Amino acid sequence: MDKILIHGGRPLSGSIKISGSKNSALPILAATLLTREPCIVHGVPDLSDTNYMLQILTHLGAQVERASGTVTVTAEKVHSVAPYDVVRKMRASVCVLGPLLGRCKEATVALPGGCVIGDRPIDLHLKGFEALGAAVRVQAGDIKVFAPKLSGAVINMHGKFGPTVLGTDNIMMAAVLSDGVTVIEGAAQEPEVVDLANFLNQMGAKIEGAGTRRIIIEGVSELHGTEHWVIPDRIEAGTFLVAGAIAGKGVTVNRVEPEHVRAITDVLTRCGFPIKFADRSISILPNGAATALELKTEPYPGFPTDMQAQMCALLSTSKGISAVTDNVFPQRYMHVAELKRMGAKVQLEGATAVIEGVDRLLAAPVMASDLRASAALVLAGLKADGVTEVSRVYHIDRGYERLDEKLGELGAHVERVKAA
Ligand code: EPZ
């Protein structure tokens, strides 16, 4: 197991290129199961999560070829059972349920296990499949869905914590090959949902309203192959913009959709950092310590929960007292105990982290617990005095392509070492 050593106190400067979006590539790769014809997907980031998805597709019978960021999937023949040992590594595997149900009218996928970021039920996904006419059974740790045929329906995908992203994706993918019209109310509006809908429409689907709370899907009898570029990763872009705020003297992220990160750049502006926009690139300029603020995560276009931990790292050395509330994953605070080991002053009150800014952080050995928490610890290490040692970096490799190398391109002194 690797560790990352971050030598703190080095100012970052320069520019990096943003990779393709993990959270867009995963459902798009799953959607290739909906046709027998080859699908060519460009901009697939080299991550353990995308590799897991390719293993699942191969296990289901699809032919998968990869040439650096381009993946070609040909699912001429597929079977509909994705067992525990294949899907247990990644919760997002649940998004093969929709395409398998759509194409094979049946699917068996192991129920996702627990998750450190909080309770993550899939009741809305299952409710949606039932509304389309599928029988749903959870048995011996497996989800079994089957239907002689699927029929269009009106389905509300809005839950206690707002809309569900992968739930919206799953129902869209099951409904494209169903009879009649499906209307998803309370749909997720994330750019990754729009990217999936665009991909499906390129395959011959009839989807309207993606990006709004109401998506209309007119079922078709068959889909064909296509070629698609995955959108840039807005969370990777946000993470590097926070790196620029926490330790930068002028950092630019290239190949990013400014609109997709609007909520993030608005918050960094409120923290006092000048931001410059150019065609598909964004620069953040230094301005000393961040201004403390009150921040709430919300579904898109609100401030993303996947940037909450990184903001906690930045606000740990802010001027004043901040309150960060996660309204999407209220328990998503595994990074707090580790930041406190580095000298941060953070009090958890329910779903809110109250952060009293300190002048400096001190390096310490810390433990990554999940993808975004580990990114936050790396960012804190850039600011801290001394060498911070982050262990269990496999969490980082799930969602950041070459994070340590890209930080090195910006002048950081970051080393990846084998754990003893
Ligand atoms: C997606 O997860 C992302 N993952 C997550 O990113 C992201 O945090 C999340 O959306 C929210 O933006 C991928 O796209 C692969 P949800 P998803 O269903 O779809 C509750 C990362 O760091 N809910 O939108 O699984 C749920 O518990 C990852 O890259 C139900 O109650 O999240 C949560 O509180 C982590 N019932 C809220 O809705 C359901 O059936 C939003 O979850 C489904 C969800």
361-395 per-position pLDDT tens digit = 999 999 999 999 999 999 999 999 999 999 999 99
Q: With CA atoms as reference, report the closest residue to 200 among 182, 181, 179, 217.
A: 217
User: Which are the catalytic amino acids?
Assistant: 115
Distance 355 CA to ligand 1 centre (A): 25
The ligand 1 atom at the shortest distance from the C-alpha of residue 304 is 12
Please report the pLDDT score of residue 115 as a whole number.
78
- Which one-letter amino acid corresponds to residue 233? D
For ligand 1, atom 6, the nearest C-alpha belongs to 306
**Encoded tokens for 410:** 């910006």
Phi, psi of 97 (to 5 degrees): -60, -50
Digit-coded pLDDT (tens) for 229-241: 999 999 999 999 9
Does the pLDDT of residue 88 top 90, yes or no? no
Cα(195) to ligand 1 centroid in Å equals 17
CA of 152 to the centre of ligand 1 (A): 24
Per-residue model confidence (pLDDT) at position 46: 97
Task: State the pLDDT at residue 116.
Answer: 81
Query: What's the confidence (pLDDT) of residue 227?
Result: 98
- Among 59, 12, 4, smallest CA distance to 286 is for 12
Q: Find the residues whose C-beta lies inside 6 A of ligand 1.
A: 23, 26, 92, 119-125, 159-161, 164-167, 188, 305-306, 328-329, 371-372, 399
Q: Whole-angstrom Cα distance, residue 134 to residue 145?
A: 6
Q: Do 280 and 254 contact (CB within 8 A), yes or no? A: yes
Q: Which atom of ligand 1 is nearest to the CA of 160?
A: 31
pLDDT for 228: 98
The fraction of the chain above a pLDDT of 70, given in percent, is 100
pLDDT higher than threshold 90 for residue 110: yes
- Which residue minimizes the CA distance to atom 4 of ligand 1? 23
Cα(122) to ligand 1 centroid in Å equals 9
Residue 401 has pLDDT above 90, yes or no: yes
What number does the ligand 1 atom closest to the CA of 124 have? Answer: 40
Q: 3-class DSSP state for residue 21?
A: coil
Does 217 score more than 90 pLDDT? yes
Question: What is the arithmetic mean of pLDDT over 261-268?
Answer: 98
Indicate the DSSP class of residue 319.
Answer: B
Residues 6+ apart with CB under 8 A from 194: 210, 211
Residue-averaged pLDDT of the chain: 96
58 φ, ψ (degrees, to nearest 5) = -65, -45
Which pLDDT does position 292 carry in this prediction?
98
Does the pLDDT at position 113 exceed 90?
no
Q: What is d(CA 95, CA 327) in angstroms, rounded to the nearest whole number?
A: 23
Kindly give the number of the ligand 1 atom that is closest to the alpha carbon of 122.
40
- Encode pLDDT of 151-180 as tens digits: 999 999 999 999 999 999 999 999 999 999
Residue 114 has pLDDT above 90, yes or no: no
Count of C-beta atoms within a 10 Å radius of residue 73: 26
Instruction: Kindly give the distance from the C-alpha atom of residue 329 to the centroid of ligand 1, in angstroms, as a whole number.
Output: 8
Q: 119 pLDDT exceeds 90?
A: no
Residue 90 main-chain phi, psi, to 5 deg: -150, 120
* Cβ neighbours around 419 below 10 Å, total: 10
Q: pLDDT-based confidence at 339, cuts 50/70/90?
A: very high
Length of the chain: 420
